[in-house]
C-alpha cells in the first residue's frame, strides 16, 4: 500500500491525527502560567533499517549489486515541541545519522564489496497525542523529508577483482512519513522523552525504526 500510493497514506495519517486532536482540544487547554508549554529537544538517535532493494532489481552492468542489506545507524537529534493543550502537541525534530559499512553482493556470481551508506538527515514534523499527567504516553504521526549527504563518486575493488564505480545519487532529498509512540516523563521545567518511530522514505523505499532517547528544556 505504501509503495503504490504514498501521498494518500501520508494524507490519511495527517487527517486522522487532526480529527483526533480537534476532539481532544475541545475538552482541555494548557494553562501556560502553571507549567512550560515549549521545549527544546536534544536526543540520541538509533535507526534500524530494513534491507533496501531485492535480487529481482538486478540489471547487468547497471545495477549489479541491487540489495543494500539491513543495517544500523547512530546519531543525534535537535528539535522542539510545543503543547497546544494538555493532550496535544506539535514537534519538529531533525536527526543526523552516520553511515555504516555493509557488504553488497552481485547475485549473478556472488562477488561482494564493502559499501558505506551515506550519512543522512531526517527532518520530521509530527502531531502528538498525549495521555496522562506527569508520566504521559503518546502516539504521533506526520511527515517530512530525508536528506542524503553523499560523498563524491569513487571506485572500489570487488572480491573477484572487478572495479566497481559508486556514483553519487541524482536525488538527495526525498519525502517521508512517520508514525510513532513513546513516553514522556514531565517535571514541569524539563522532560525526558523515549520514542520509537516507524519511518518510510518513499522514493527509494527505505523503511526504518528510529529510536530516540532525549531531554527537553
C-beta separation of 205 from 47 below 8 A? no
Question: Residue 29: what pLDDT?
Answer: 45
- Tally helices (H) and strands (E) across the chain: 1, 12
Distances (CA, A) of 143 to 72, 94, 166, 170: 21, 12, 30, 22
Please tell me the pTM assigned to this model. Answer: 0.81
- Residue 89 C-alpha cell reads as 502537541
CA angle 61, 204, 202 (to 5 degrees): 160
- 38 Cβ neighbours under 8 A, 6+ residues apart: 80, 81, 82, 83
CA angle 213, 215, 217 (to 5 degrees): 165
Cα 90–chain centre separation: 16
Go through the domains of the chain in sequence order and give each one's CATH number: 6-216 (2.40.160.20)
Could you read off the pLDDT of 44-55 as tens digits, one per residue? Answer: 999 999 999 999
Read off the pLDDT of residues 76-107 as tens digits, 9 standing for 90 and up: 999 999 999 989 999 999 999 999 999 999 99
DSSP-derived 3-state class of residue 193: strand
Res. 22: pLDDT tops 80: no
Amino acid at each position: 500500500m505504501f509503495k503504490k500510493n504514498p501521498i494518500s497514506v501520508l494524507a490519511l495519517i495527517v487527517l486522522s491525527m487532526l480529527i483526533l486532536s480537534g476532539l481532544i482540544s475541545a475538552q482541555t487547554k494548557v494553562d501556560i502560567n502553571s507549567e512550560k508549554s515549549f521545549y527544546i529537544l536534544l536526543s540520541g538517535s538509533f535507526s534500524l533499517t530494513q534491507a533496501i532493494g531485492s535480487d529481482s532489481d538486478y540489471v547487468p552492468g547497471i545495477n549489479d549489486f541491487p540489495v543494500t542489506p539491513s543495517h544500523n545507524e547512530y546519531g543525534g537529534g535537535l528539535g522542539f515541541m510545543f503543547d497546544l493543550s494538555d493532550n496535544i502537541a506539535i514537534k519538529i525534530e531533525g536527526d543526523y545519522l552516520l553511515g555504516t559499512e555493509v557488504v553488497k553482493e552481485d547475485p549473478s556470481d556472488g562477488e561482494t564489496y564493502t559499501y558505506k551508506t551515506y550519512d543522512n538527515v531526517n527532518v520530521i514534523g509530527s502531531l502528538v497525542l498525549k495521555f496522562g499527567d506527569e508520566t504521559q504516553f503518546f502516539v504521533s504521526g506526520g511527515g517530512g523529508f530525508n536528506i542524503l549527504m553523499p560523498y563524491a563518486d569513487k571506485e572500489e575493488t570487488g572480491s573477484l577483482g572487478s572495479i566497481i564505480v559508486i556514483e553519487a545519487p541524482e536525488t538527495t532529498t526525498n519525502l517521508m512519513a512517520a508514525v510513532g509512540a513513546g513516553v514522556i516523563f514531565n517535571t514541569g521545567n524539563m522532560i525526558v522523552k523515549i520514542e520509537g518511530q516507524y519511518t518510510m522514505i518513499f522514493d527509494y523505499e527505505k523503511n526504518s525504526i528510529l529510536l530516540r532517547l532525549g531531554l527537553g528544556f
